[in-house]
Structure 1
Amino acid sequence: MDDHARMMEKVTRVGDLYDFYGVLLTERQRQMVELSYLDDWSLAEIASHFDVSRQAVHDSLHRAVQQLETFEASLHLLESHRRQREQVQRLTVAWQQVEGAVPEAVREELRACITALAKEFQMEAG
């Protein structure tokens, strides 16, 4: 994996962790994580915004990401969400294979349930 792909993977992971645990960070940490990982500001831009050194921003971001990882290691919300999403994907594929064989009265109820689950996980239902 090249450096760009590793960086994109890290940005994605931090964004996902932030979605679950960002509320547990301090306001300043939240702002710095948002500016760095979500808005793609440089360390220098963030440092200027907060009137601190680039090193201070780097250290704050590092601590914030460590905290997010610690929360995930304890609570496993992100991993649980990913497993549930995979199960919904498998269910959707299986449904597409058997939908025609299910009686119409049951089909509509199952289709509605699968569609609701897929929507909850922001996926396309079949």
Structure 2
Amino acid sequence: MSSSTDNMDEVTRMGDLYDFYGALLTVRQRQIIEMYHLEDWSLSEIAESLEISRQAVHDQLRRAGEQLEQYESALQLRAAARGQREAWSHLMSVWTHVKQELASSSQVAMAEALQLLFQKLTGFTGGDVDA
């Protein structure tokens, strides 16, 4: 895997972890993570903006990342959301194949049930479920 792909995976992972656990971080940690991972600021730009050293920014990013990883290790919300998305995808694939075999009224009832499930999963997974 290329370093570009590794970096993109890291940014995606940190974004996911931040979505689930960011509220548990300090205000300063959230600010630094948002600037670095979400707004793509450099360490130097963050340091200048916050009037702290580049090393302090680096240390805060590392500590915040470690905290996010600890939360995920204990709570597994990101992993659970991924499992939910995979299960949803499989369910929709099966639904596509079997719905023609059902009576029209059963198709409507099932579509309504799937829509309700979709709404619940979207709230849990952060909107990554595909209808």
1:67 Cα offset (Å): 0.2
Q: Output the CA distance in 1 between the equivalents of 2:3 and 2:49.
A: 28
Query: Which residue is 2:95 aligned to?
Result: 95
Contact 1:29–1:61 under 8 Å retained in 2: yes
Query: Which residue is 1:77 aligned to?
Result: 77
SS at match of 2:129: coil
- Scaled by the length of structure 2, the TM-score of the pair is 0.90
1:114 Cα offset (Å): 2.0
1:122 Cα offset (Å): 3.8
Number of residue pairs matched by the alignment = 125
RMSD of aligned alpha carbons:
1.2
1:104 Cα offset (Å): 1.3
Q: Output the CA distance in 1 between the equivalents of 2:36 and 2:113.
A: 38
Structure 2, unpaired ranges of 5+: none
Structure with more contact order per residue of length (Cα contacts < 8 Å, sep ≥ 6): 2
Deviations 1:59-88 (CA, angstroms, capped at 9, x unpaired): 000000000000000000110011011000
1:106 Cα offset (Å): 1.6
Query: Which residue is 2:34 aligned to?
Result: 34
Q: Output the CA distance in 1 between the equivalents of 2:87 and 2:67.
A: 28
The one-letter amino acid paired with 1:80 is A
1:111 Cα offset (Å): 1.2
- Scaled by the length of structure 1, the TM-score of the pair is 0.94
Alignment of 1:1-126 (within 5 A): 1-118=1-118, 120=122, 121-125=127-131
Q: Output the CA distance in 2 between the equivalents of 1:34 and 1:26.
A: 12
Contact 2:89–2:130 under 8 Å retained in 1: no
1:103 Cα offset (Å): 1.5
